[in-house]
């Protein structure tokens, strides 16, 4: 289980400077930014909040996101 309080505090690192950067949890192991659509994987219960990861999955439809997510390279 990922700590729910931690999840609530997390924001998209790109958008948080100018907007809310709120994240929606999708398919249990993905966090999707409401503002820009970048998607951050939760790998082995740890949210990977790297902009490079968010960029990589931004164009992938939520239904096509892999579960479990691959480890970041």
CB of 19 to Zn ion, least distance (A): 7
Question: Which structure tokens are listed for 73?
Answer: 């390279």
Query: Is 32 one of the binding residues for Zn ion (CB under 5 A)?
Result: no
Query: Is 33 one of the binding residues for Zn ion (CB under 5 A)?
Result: yes
* Spatial distance between the Cα atoms of 16 and 21, rounded to a whole number of angstroms: 5
The gap between the terminal CA atoms of the chain, to the nearest Å, is 23
Query: Is 12 one of the binding residues for Zn ion (CB under 5 A)?
Result: yes
Query: Is 58 one of the binding residues for Zn ion (CB under 5 A)?
Result: no
Query: Is 15 one of the binding residues for Zn ion (CB under 5 A)?
Result: yes
């Amino acid at each position: 289980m990922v700590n729910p309080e931690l999840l609530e505090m997390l924001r998209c690192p790109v958008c948080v400077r100018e907007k809310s950067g709120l994240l929606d949890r999708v398919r249990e192991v993905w966090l999707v930014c409401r503002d820009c659509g970048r998607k951050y994987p939760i790998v082995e219960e740890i949210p990977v909040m790297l902009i490079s990861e968010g960029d990589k999955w931004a164009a992938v439809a939520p239904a096509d996101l892999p579960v479990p997510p691959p480890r970041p390279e």
